Amino acid sequence: MNNTNTRRIGKAIVGISLSLLVSMSGNILLTSESAHAASTATAASSTAANRIIASGKTFLGTPYKFGAKTGVTRSFDCSSFTQYLYKKVGVRIPRSSRDQSKAGKYVSKSKLKAGDLVFSDTNRDGVINHVSIYIGNGKLLHTYRVGIGVTISTFKGSTWDRTYVTARRVL
């Protein structure tokens, strides 16, 4: 092989190598930007969940009233409570638990994260009639029944677990 052919092959190899290097570094940049965006979104939803939970806990003991007016904080029903708390962090959800159960994205019971909404059919008539906020560590923040009001309950084995229908992630 003569010197000219050797140089051409060498330049071709260098050119291909540089092209591959540039192409791969672009993918690395895109991947790291995507990972950063995903971690930022996760951190934002975690912060919103923490704010919702902290705010909700300030209402512990607030009386339950079926059909409580939206935005009124002297009493809540389950869905006015969730709607009020999520609105405080800029997330709009419908008024009724049945309609809230269609908002956001489905999440399985085994993948619940703090801030997810948990829906139950406590009447066992095929209709969602209760919403709770999963706060982590197997606990729910919610309001129900006159005399109980806003409270924290254990999820596993509870009425809300036995009558569980679905969960939604709206953050």
* Catalytic residue of the set 48, 53, 78, 170: 78
Q: Is 15 a catalytic residue?
A: no
Q: Is 142 a catalytic residue?
A: yes
State the DSSP string of the chain.
--HHHHHHHHHHHHHHHHHHHHHHHHHHHHHHHHHHHHHHHHHHHHHHHHHHHHHHHTTTTPPB-TTPPTT--SSB-HHHHHHHHHHHTT----SSHHHHTTSSEE--GGG--TT-EEEE-TT-SSS--EEEEEEETTEEEEEETTTTEEEEEE-TTSHHHHTEEEEEE--
Q: Is 78 a catalytic residue?
A: yes
* C-alpha span between 25 and 34 (Å, rounded): 14
* Catalytic residue of the set 120, 142, 155, 167: 142
* Catalytic residue of the set 119, 130, 167, 170: 130
Active site amino acids: 78, 130, 142
